[in-house]
Each structure stands twice: as C-alpha cells, then as structure tokens.
C-alpha cells in the first residue's frame, strides 16, 4: 500500500510538469498572436522607412500575421524609439533602429533623452548603409590620397558639406581628420538642410567634398556628376567596384561611419519572440525579394544574430563616444 501511494505521489508532479511544458510550448508557437508593428522613428519615404517596409513584406509571409510599418517621426528619432522602449515586451511592437537615433543620440546625451543605447532587446542587424566620400568630377583630387594630402598641406582651407552638426555626414570627415592627426577645424563644415542638399553642394562646386550616404548620391555617381574616392564599407561596393575601401587605404577606423538598420524590441522582450524573429531574419537573408529590395535604396544586406548585433553596436557606440569627446560636438 505504501509503495502504491509513493508511485501516485510521483505521477502527479510529473503530470503537472508535462502540462507546464506543453503550455510554454503552446505559448511559443502562438507568437505572434496578432499583427506586429514595426515603429520607424523617421518620416515615410526615407532609407529607414524603406528598410522597414522591405522587411515587413518578407516577415508577413513567414509569421502568418500582418507586419505593419508605423512612422513615429520627431526629435531625431527619439520619439519613435521611446515608444518601443515603453511597449509591452511581448514582441508585437518593434523598432527599426538606426545609427542616428540609437547610437549617435545616446552618445550625445541631449537634454530630455530618456533611453540609453542598450535599453532595448537586440534582435538583429539588417543591412549596412554605405558612406562614400566624393568630389566634383573636375576636381584636382583624383584619388583619396590626393584629398588627404591637400588636407594636411592646407589645414583649415578645404570645406565639406554636411546635413547638420550631429549627423553621420558631419562625423565622417571629423573621423577622417582625426585619423590624419588634425584638429576638428582642419577642414570647414558647411551645413545644409539634408543629405540631398549636401550632395548638390558638391555637384555645384560650392564645397570641396562630402562624405555622405550612398543612397543620396548613387544617381550622381553613376551619371558621372560626382567622383567617388572611398567607401567606408568593409568590402567594395557592388554598384561601384572601382571605389576602394577605407580599410584598403589604411583608414580602417572610418568603417565606424557605415550607417545601418537593425531590428530592436522593448527591454526584456519575450525570448520566444526574439527566437522567432531571428528565424525570420535568417530566411530574409536568402529571400531574393528582400535582397532586391535592399538594392533599391542602397542597402547592403548584413544579417547578424542577436548576440552579434549587440557586439557590433556596442563597438559602434564606443567609437562615437570617443569621437564626440575629441571633437566636442554637441546637440542642443
């Protein structure tokens, strides 16, 4: 009798454990249980918006639920980023993260910013957005070496166009000057309202050079209206294979100003949702439609795991903190 009761006592806990395990598995399989929102912290039509919509098209088919892109622009991307930070961690509200809103802003620490670079769940890197330094095709600078030689020979005499003092097109030349052991005023920054205007300033020969996002200059480079001297991507650009990389030319630290898009979740996001999205991104990496979509806005596919993404962005953040401290850049 005692032996029989002992067996009954063992069976009941085992049954409860099996039920609990089944419940966890069912919960994991139920994600997503409703449409998923990807918050883009910038206005519609830009690189970040196109990146999110490109991913949403692929993810909808894989997840079996609609993936909806929602634009929440404002405050250099801080408003949309904050929305996701405050969202429920169930994986139904995600962020299309960008270097400006999620690395540069936290590094600058402007008044009122209430999130840090790592206040999110890292899901995966999506693609790189190349930065290319260009000059007018009739410029005397035929190569990047020509440009750097003249910068050193005539400090403070050359000028470059940017889309603002706290943007990648501003920091790229500053990083270049730092690599040349020059002061921040070794070249004169001329600020414009946006990347397109900064590009046109080189076309019209109002400035000597710019280091801008490729997406703002692809047509002008292809059409011979700009001469590309260097790209900050680790590998040469497929569209412009004759353009050398910063690494090839001995300026590897400039790779830090490669733009990127990534997928983030709220803090402490459910592990099953993170795992599901990691699977989605792996499928996207071989999806011809997703790859072709990247090409339309100048993105270079580069899918990374959650762990790889966190490491990549941590290194990115450190580089920008160091650069900001050395250049004294502020965002007021």
CATH code of residue 252: 3.40.190.10
Same domain, 118 and 153: no
Domain match, 63 and 103 both: yes
Domain end point (choices 242, 257, 272)? 257
> Looking at the structure, do residues 225 and 262 belong to the same domain, yes or no?
no
What are the CA-CA distances from residue 41 to residues 165, 169, 193, 223 (Å)? 20, 19, 18, 32
Assess whether pLDDT exceeds 60 at residue 18.
no
Q: Are residues 247 and 295 in the same domain?
A: no
Q: Which residue bears the tokens 């009122």?
A: 112
One domain, residues 110 and 170: no
**Which domain does 144 fall in, by range?**
131-257
What confidence tier does 16 reach under pLDDT thresholds 50, 70, 90?
very low
Q: Is residue 14 a part of any domain in this protein? A: no
Do 141 and 243 lie in one domain? The reply is yes
Does the residue 1 lie in any domain?
A: no
- Tokens 């918006």 locate to 49
pLDDT, tens digit, 9 for 90 and up, residues 55-74: 999 999 999 999 999 999 88
Buried (b) or exposed (e) across 291-301, using 16+ Cβ within 10 A? bebbeebbbbb
pLDDT in tens, 77-123: 899 999 999 999 999 999 999 988 999 999 999 889 999 999 999 99
Same domain, yes or no: 201 and 58: no
| Of 205, 235, 257, the domain-final residue | 257
- Is the same domain home to 181 and 269? no
CATH number at residue 290: 3.40.190.150
Whether 175 and 232 map to the same domain: the answer is yes
Indicate the residue among 224, 257, 290 that finishes a domain.
257
Which stretch of 18-27, 88-97, 124-133, 240-249 has the lowest confidence by average pLDDT? Answer: 18-27
pLDDT for residue 27: 43
Tell me what percent of the residues of the chain surpass a pLDDT of 90. 63
Residue 6 in domain? no
Q: 60: which 2 tokens?
A: 């909808």
Residue 30 lies in a domain: no
Same domain for 96 and 84, yes or no, is: yes
3-state secondary structure of 331: coil
Buried/exposed code over 270-283 (b: 16+ C-beta within 10 A; e: otherwise): bebbbebbbebbee
Do residues 213 and 131 lie in contact, with contact meaning Cβ atoms separated by under 8 Å?
A: yes
Rounded Cα–Cα distance for residues 78 and 224 (Å): 37
Q: What is the mean pLDDT of residues 255-275?
A: 94
Q: Which residue has 């059409």 as its token pair?
A: 223
Band (332; pLDDT cuts 50, 70, 90): low
State the DSSP string of 32-93.
-SS-EEEEESS-TTSHHHHHHHHHHHHHHHHHSS-EEEEE---GGGHHHHHHHHTS-TTSSE
Same domain? For 136 and 208 the reply is yes
* Separation CA 61–CA 280 (nearest Å): 10
Domain assignment of residue 20, yes or no: no
Six token digits for residue 71 = 């634009």
In the chain, how many domains are there?
2
Instruction: Mark whether 53 and 142 lie in a shared domain.
Output: no
Least confident of 164-173, 246-255, 293-302: 164-173
Q: Where are the alpha helices (DSSP H) in 127-249?
A: 144-153, 168-179, 195-203, 218-222
């Amino acid at each position: 009798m005692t032996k029989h009761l002992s067996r009954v006592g063992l069976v009941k806990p085992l049954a409860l454990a099996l039920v609990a395990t089944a419940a966890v598995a069912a919960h994991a399989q139920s994600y997503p249980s409703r449409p998923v929102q990807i918050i883009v912290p910038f206005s519609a039509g830009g690189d970040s918006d196109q990146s999110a919509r490109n991913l949403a098209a692929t993810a909808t088919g894989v997840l079996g639920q609609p993936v909806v892109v929602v634009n929440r622009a404002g405050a250099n991307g801080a408003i949309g980023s904050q929305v996701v930070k405050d969202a429920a961690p169930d994986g139904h509200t995600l962020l299309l993260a960008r270097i400006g809103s999620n690395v540069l802003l936290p590094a600058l620490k402007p008044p009122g910013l209430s999130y840090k670079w790592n206040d999110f769940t890292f899901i995966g890197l999506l693609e790189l957005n190349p930065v290319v330094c260009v000059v007018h095709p009739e410029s005397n600078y035929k190569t990047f070496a020509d440009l750097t030689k003249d910068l050193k020979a005539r400090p403070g005499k050359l000028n470059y166009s940017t889309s603002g003092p706290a943007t990648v097109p501003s920091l790229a030349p500053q990083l270049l000057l730092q690599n040349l052991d020059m002061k921040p005023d070794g070249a004169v920054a001329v600020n414009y309202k946006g990347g397109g205007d900064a590009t046109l300033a080189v076309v019209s020969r109002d400035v000597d050079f710019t280091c801008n996002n490729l997406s703002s200059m692809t047509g002008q480079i292809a059409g011979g209206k700009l001469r590309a001297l260097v790209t900050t991507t680790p590998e040469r650009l497929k569209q412009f294979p004759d353009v050398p990389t910063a690494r090839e030319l001995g300026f590897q630290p400039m790779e830090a100003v490669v733009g990127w898009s990534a997928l983030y979740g709220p803090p402490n996001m459910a592990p099953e949702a993170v795992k599901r999205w990691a699977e989605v991104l792996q499928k996207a990496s071989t999806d011809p439609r997703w790859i072709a979509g990247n090409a339309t806005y100048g993105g270079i596919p580069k899918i990374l795991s959650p762990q790889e993404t966190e490491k990549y962005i941590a290194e990115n953040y450190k580089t920008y903190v160091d650069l900001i401290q050395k250049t004294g850049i502020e965002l007021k």
